């Protein structure tokens, strides 16, 4: 369980460092983040493309799941047992 927590912390810190390097300030509160449709996916789609689950972190009543394949990574919000939405991290 400690390894899972460590992996999640590493992924979060790596994504924060990437965002700082990219010079993004983030989405203002109250606004929905706009992403191109090509960057959004579901966990089922990503699993079928060979992505692997690397970590899962509770976030309130939901879970955030981190998936990776080669140099590509996604963060997925589990909305229910059958519904998820994912966005690319890099």
Read off the pLDDT of residues 16-33 as tens digits, 9 standing for 90 and up: 444 444 444 555 666 665
Across 1-90, the runs of DSSP E, i.e. the strands, are 40-41, 52-59, 62-69, 72-78, 84-88
pTM for the model stands at 0.55
Higher pLDDT, 1 or 55: 55
pLDDT band at 83 (very low <50, low <70, confident <90, very high): confident
Q: Which two tokens stand for residue 1?
A: 């369980």
pLDDT given for residue 8 in this prediction:
53
Cβ–Cβ < 8 Å for 79, 63: no
pLDDT given for residue 17 in this prediction:
43
């Amino acid at each position: 369980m400690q390894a899972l927590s460590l992996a999640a912390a590493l992924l979060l810190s790596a994504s924060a460092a990437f965002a700082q390097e990219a010079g993004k300030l983030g989405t203002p509160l109250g606004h929905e983040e706009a992403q191109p449709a090509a960057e959004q996916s579901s966990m089922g789609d990503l699993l079928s493309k060979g992505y692997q689950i690397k970590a899962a972190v509770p976030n309130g009543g939901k879970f955030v799941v981190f998936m990776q394949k080669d140099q590509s990574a996604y963060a997925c919000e589990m909305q229910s047992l059958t519904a998820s939405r994912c966005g690319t991290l890099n």
